[in-house]
Homo-oligomer: A and B are copies of this chain.
């Protein structure tokens, strides 16, 4: 067993027994793949994560990235891990063959990434951002841009970033002020000069690869020379650290953010065109326009959505790691006399400890299921029949706020329990769980806070596409119908239908634009939605654990664990859905009533 306590059977159950990804392999894109090739990728991922990513976990927390005159540096363990990932060809996993990719299903590549996230969340952020960056260029860039900027990332010669936020504009991208002024054209497309500051940019400088590809949102000037107002003024640019002629582009890190956790990847203040480090002076950083002017935000949403699902997966894997580590601790630590034992016995015998373990299992594995379900939808969007593609796209749109938020919030709750099971030891740096908890605290913040996701769900996703919720309902009903056949799961099916009835009723009342009252309940609506979706997925997993084929395996305890986690979720968590929907439906009177001076 590797030191991060991954139980491979959990991944296999999700991929093969539940999501049945072998069904995908008949599609033309995946002709080169079989269950065996996918298993080999997972074997490789597990081993490499244990060998290269785990050893960098604590050292990266103890020594943060540092900035000197040469730029940003990371510890060698981190650089080695990230290079090993690329060297193993994993960056290329799901890309097209003509880009050097393996054309693996996205869901399999996602499961591979999950191993690395469990092993070292911040080291895994380098390849995660790089793949999303390269995919965006592959989608919207010109052939020359793809060759120059996507291919080096896929091959491991460069890493990528996403540059959106600015100090004065965190969640509010309409207010960014980085300016992009036309500067002619060259072989790589329309050239612009970028000037402005970006904030919260992860991996914007380091000594891991020679080049770094920045994807930058900036505004072209209007007739008055000032940035065009609003989101329609935003365009997307590629600004590499090193230009085609080998010279340095005028992109420099001017400061590092010192974080509570997640310290393996530098988070930076980034300046475009400040000239301080460039012989050419303040002429601006060179950036190449991607696609058309004004399309920047729409294009960037592809990368943002991929990153959001990956943030959720990362949070899920931190929850899972904390669960497995606290399970191992609970099996070993002797304390008290649970069940009337005659001598101190392992604390897993205490009902309270068991409840904390089962809650973690329900949160962590439910969150992984949600992430992989979304990854499976991405495959459908890419390789399904036309109608299925469209359905998958709309379902993904609807699920993304929950896929980002639910694992982030519930994963943190899981990590809290992992600490609690360790008692005082969990509060010390001798064990991993305190670091896992600190690392995970980032996830409800980056790539859109929980509050932003709530508004996205209610004000955009639910309000604008009622058919997507109807499709979700159809899938949920199919699960409920299967569950009905099992006496111990039938009550869950009924509770699930009741929860979706409430959700449907709530969705029917949404008015746009959202009133302050509706806005005061949007986060509650998101929590209810996330819980309902995960309840559905748990019931679906429990029914998968109950198929004759699954039960014939004779691996009773493993499958019984899945059913117990499903029942726990319905017993302890599903009742909260109605409370949240009450709040979402009525909004909060007290929030609106309190005067500013009353706080």
Contact = CB atoms under 8 A, between A and B. Distances in A.
Interface stretch (A37-45, A393-401, A425-433): A425-433
A164 B516 CA distance: 53
A557 interface: yes
A89 to B, nearest CB: 33
Contact of A595 (B171, B437, B519, B560): B560
A594 B354 contact: yes
A355 to B, nearest CB: 5
Interface in A499-524: 516-517, 519-520, 522-523
B336 A168 contact: no
A446 interface: yes
A531 interface: no
Interface string A344-359: 1000101111111110
Nearest to A520: B351
Nearest to A261: B427
Interface in A548-599: 556-558, 560-562, 564-565, 567-568, 571-572, 575-576, 579, 582-583, 587-599
A241 to B, nearest CB: 23
A596 to B, nearest CB: 6
A420 interface: yes
B445 A424 contact: yes
A6 interface: no
A157 interface: no
A420 B445 contact: yes
Q: Work out how many copies of this chain go into the complex.
A: 2
A428 B558 contact: no
Interface in A18-52: none
A334 interface: yes
- Tell me the dominant secondary structure on chain A's binding face: helix
Nearest to A430: B258
A335 B428 contact: no
Interface in A346-394: 348, 350-358, 361
A423 interface: yes
Contact of A557 (B444, B556, B571, B598): B598
A598 B444 contact: no
Given A260-B428, A335-B171, A344-B175, A571 B599 contact: no
Given A357-B599, A358-B599, A429-B260, A564 B424 contact: no
Given A172-B335, A327-B599, A597-B557, A441 B423 contact: no
Nearest to A343: B175
Interface string A332-343: 001110010000
Contacts of A348: 596, 599
A454 interface: yes
A175 to B, nearest CB: 6
Interface string A103-133: 0000000000000000000000000000000
Given A356-B451, A572-B583, 19 more contacts: A171-B336, A175-B344, A257-B428, A258-B428, A258-B430, A259-B427, A339-B516, A351-B591, A354-B594, A423-B449, A424-B445, A424-B446, A437-B441, A557-B598, A560-B595, A561-B599, A564-B594, A567-B590, A575-B579
